[in-house]
Structures are given as structure tokens and as C-alpha cells.
Amino acid sequence: MAKAAPVSPLAPKTYPDIPPIEGVRFAVAQAGIRYAGRTDAMLALFDEGTQVAGVFTRSKCPSAPVDWCRARLEGGKARALLVNSGNANAFTGKAGKEAAKLSAKLVAAAAGVPEKQVFLASTGVIGEPLDATKFEPVLGKLVADTRGDAWREAASAIMTTDTYPKLATRVAKLGDVEVRIAGIAKGAGMIAPDMATMLSFVFTDAPIDAEVLQSLLSKSVQNSFNAITVDSDTSTSDTLLLFATGAAAERGAPVIEKASDRRLEGFRRALDEVLLDLAHQVVKDGEGARKFVEVTVMGAETPKAAKRIALSIANSPLVKTAVAGEDANWGRVVMAVGKSGEAADRDKLAIWFGDIRVAHKGLRDPDYDEAEVSQIMKRDEIAIHVDLGIGSGAARVWTCDLTKEYVAINGDYRS
């Protein structure tokens, strides 16, 4: 296994203190899937009646666990989640399907839950067969060891090239009752999600019907996980699952059966915040990242056009390497706008780095000061703002810089 990378300089200084969410318990183990001497299997168990929603990669080469989860999602209920790191069980043919089926069967037997309510996720190397029999020796202990406060352990067990575990939590009001939302995520490379991130799992005690959860999740992901990019590559394994145990109903929380229910407003905001928090953490742990970059585009023809332009900027290797070199090369932003395929007018375009306008009306800004902009480029977090001046469409995405470390990490990923 390649030597672990140092913790990202953009990592959070502290981790949130997440209390247990009633109806959810976790345990981790060393199953020896790929890594030696570290946890690589995580089991979550849920109380009966737990509702589930999910969004997945739109890759045409999805992993076996993605196919498995999609099929089980129709039932809307979950009792267990098994996640492994080190092997994606992707592009593994019939053997991959059998490995997923055996994994679920082993979990169902060990935990005493229906196989159709077992969800799976795998992350790691693509194209290597997954030996699901490695789960069997550890599942009994996993089931016995599950506890409600093992958040950080769970987040650590699902990591691959991540340099730190990713956790987020919020409290919301549902009716007059407080409910909790908490989530974990993994991801550092192969990040340009298309319906989800590489792996993320969010949990709540709110009593919300699966169809409503699905509506909330599908909308919320658009401005969080679907608005980030590290390297423009969409994973075969992208999976985001949201589990609702409903335990807060016993404290008087109303059962929500319609997405139009006005009592959902506080929960909706809190869910958005949790997903955005996790998505930002994924970008800040981008392989080799040293800078966190926010790209805002305004004045485009439509919101869809604005987002496409923003992603063109955020995914540009030339823009990202300029940021890495602390070079305010706004000409590369002009290039990225122009190549996006969306409408733009060179003579109406304006560009800012931070709060300094560097280009305006097709020319370098007359008040441009190289020294001032250079100071902005030395920051850990940098904002790039573009106004096309031709419409009202706006969008915001997040990315990181592109450094030599990214090449080093991915050059020996399978070593």
C-alpha cells in the first residue's frame, strides 16, 4: 500500500461532537479487504421501520453495490448498511454481482434482518474482484459491537486516499420537536459527482416517509455534492443514502408524508447545510489540495448555463494550476468561459479574484493592481467571481487547486 499522505492543510481543526441518533448504531472492523492494519469495513444497523432514500452515480459503468442499492431502494426501508474500503467491486462482472449478493446474505444472517433491507457500498480499486467471504469472520463481532456514538470510527473506516474523516451534524425543528441530522462522507479523488458524491451516508431520527426523503435528497444534492469537483472525474461508485429512523415520533415529532408539508422547512434547511458541509470537506481533502476555491458565475443566460460555465472554470487544469502557483492569471478564466459552449460576450465579461476586479468590458481592469491580487492568491480559500452581463442566470461551485501531489498520489494508487 502506498504511504499515507499527510493530512490536508485545509482539514478542519476540530471534529463535531455528534451525539447518538436514536435507531442508528455503528461498528468497524479490519476485514483485510486491501489495507493491512487499518479498519476497512463499517456496519450500520437501524431499528425496524427505518426509511431510506438515495441518489447514485449516473456513470454508465456503475459498481455492483450501486446496482444492488438501486434495486433495494424501491422498498423504501432499511435495516443495515455495510461499507468497505479498498475495493470498489466495480467492473467485476458476474463475480461482482455474486459478491454483493453474498455480502448482503452474510449481513442479513448475522444481524437477523431481511436481506432486501441490507444496503451496500464499496470504494477503492476498480476491476479487482471483491472476496466477500472476508466479511464473514468479522460480521458477528460487528453486530455485537455496534453503538450509537461511533461516528468518527465509521467515517475513518470508509476512507481510501482521504487524509481525514468527514463528519457533519445539525439540529432542526420538526413541528415543535427537535430532530437530529448527522452524516459522514469519503472522497478525495475521482470527484465530479453526478447525483451524489463518492460515498456519503446521512442519518436522522425524523419520522419522514421514504418518498418525501427522496424528494428532499434529490433536490438538496444539486447545490451541494453536484456542485463540487476535484478533478472532473465521476466515480463508478457514487452513492449517497439518507436514512430516517422515525424515533423522534415518540417525542411528539409529526410524521411527514408529503413533500409539500410546510413543517419540513427547518429540516430542509438543516439537510442542505449538512450536505454542503460534507461536500466542502470532500473538496478540501482533494488529493494534493492546498487551496479551496469558490467559483461564482452571474449574468448568464440561464442557471444551467451559469453552472456549466462555473464547472468549466473549476475543472480547468490551467485555472487550477494557476491557483496552485498563486498566480492571478485571469486570462485562464477567460479561456474557460469561452470554451464552455455557453453564450458569452467578450466585451461584457467581468472577472474578480476575491473582491478585486481584474477584468472588465473585454479588457484588463484599469485599476488592476498585481501586488494586491497576489496577496489574495496566497490565501487558503480563494473566490473567483465572473459576471457575463447577458442574463440573470447564476450558479456557484467549489473546487481545489491542482498540485504535483495529485499526480504522485494517483501515479502509484495501485502500488
Domain assignment present for 71: yes
Domain assignment present for 7: no
Task: Tell whether the model's pLDDT for residue 415 goes beyond 70.
Answer: no
Question: What's the number of domains the chain is made of?
Answer: 2
Which of 260, 284, 308 is the C-terminal boundary of a domain?
A: 284
> Is 415 labelled as part of a ligand binding site?
yes
Strands 381-387 and 292-300: parallel
CATH number, domain with residue 238: 3.60.70.12
Q: pLDDT digits over 239-265, tens only?
A: 999 999 999 999 999 999 999 999 999
> Is 287 labelled as part of a ligand binding site?
yes
Report, as an integer, the average pLDDT of 364-377: 93
CATH number, domain with residue 316: 3.10.20.340
User: 3-class SS at 198?
Assistant: coil
Determine the structural domain holding residue 233 and report its residue range. 24-284
Task: Tell whether the model's pLDDT for residue 359 goes beyond 50.
Answer: yes
The pLDDT confidence band at residue 2, using thresholds 50, 70 and 90, is: very low
Report, as an integer, the average pLDDT of 67-75: 96
Contact indicator for 177, 206 with CB cutoff of 8 Å: no
Domain assignment present for 70: yes
Task: Tell whether the model's pLDDT for residue 106 goes beyond 90.
Answer: yes
Residue 1's pLDDT is: 44
Q: pLDDT digits over 196-229, tens only?
A: 667 999 999 999 999 999 999 999 999 999 999 9
The residues that are catalytic are 197
Domain assignment present for 199: yes
**Shared-domain flag, residues 79 and 196:** yes
User: 3-class SS at 341?
Assistant: coil
- Residue 148 half-sphere exposure toward CB, CA atoms < 13 A: 12
**Shared-domain flag, residues 279 and 300:** no
- Residue 221: all three cell numbers together: 444534492
Residue 36's pLDDT is: 85
Residue 194's pLDDT is: 72
Residue 413's pLDDT is: 59
**Shared-domain flag, residues 62 and 176:** yes
Task: Tell whether the model's pLDDT for residue 135 goes beyond 70.
Answer: yes
Average pLDDT, the chain: 94
> Is 161 labelled as part of a ligand binding site?
no
Contact indicator for 164, 16 with CB cutoff of 8 Å: no
**Shared-domain flag, residues 61 and 181:** yes
Task: Tell whether the model's pLDDT for residue 350 goes beyond 50.
Answer: yes
Percent residues over pLDDT 90 in the chain? 87
Report, as an integer, the average pLDDT of 102-123: 98
Residue 22: burial class (beta carbons within 10 Å; 0-12, 13-18, 19+): middle
> Is 74 labelled as part of a ligand binding site?
no
Residue 197's pLDDT is: 60
Output the pTM of the full model.
Answer: 0.94
**Shared-domain flag, residues 319 and 222:** no
Distances (CA, A) of 89 to 37, 124, 130: 21, 8, 6
The pLDDT confidence band at residue 195, using thresholds 50, 70 and 90, is: low
Contact indicator for 99, 64 with CB cutoff of 8 Å: yes
**Shared-domain flag, residues 259 and 326:** no
Among 268, 246, 247, 271, smallest CA distance to 259 is for 268
What whole-number distance in Å separates Cα of residue 96 and Cα of residue 131?
A: 9
What whole-number distance in Å separates Cα of residue 375 and Cα of residue 21?
A: 44
Domain assignment present for 399: yes
Out of 6-10, 35-39, 304-308, least confident range: 35-39
**Shared-domain flag, residues 235 and 320:** no
What whole-number distance in Å separates Cα of residue 287 and Cα of residue 2?
A: 14
Domain assignment present for 139: yes
> Is 186 labelled as part of a ligand binding site?
yes
Task: Tell whether the model's pLDDT for residue 348 goes beyond 90.
Answer: yes
Domain assignment present for 405: yes
Task: Tell whether the model's pLDDT for residue 5 goes beyond 80.
Answer: no
Percent residues over pLDDT 70 in the chain? 97
**Shared-domain flag, residues 275 and 324:** no
The pLDDT confidence band at residue 386, using thresholds 50, 70 and 90, is: very high
> Is 399 labelled as part of a ligand binding site?
no
Which of 246, 263, 284 is the C-terminal boundary of a domain?
A: 284
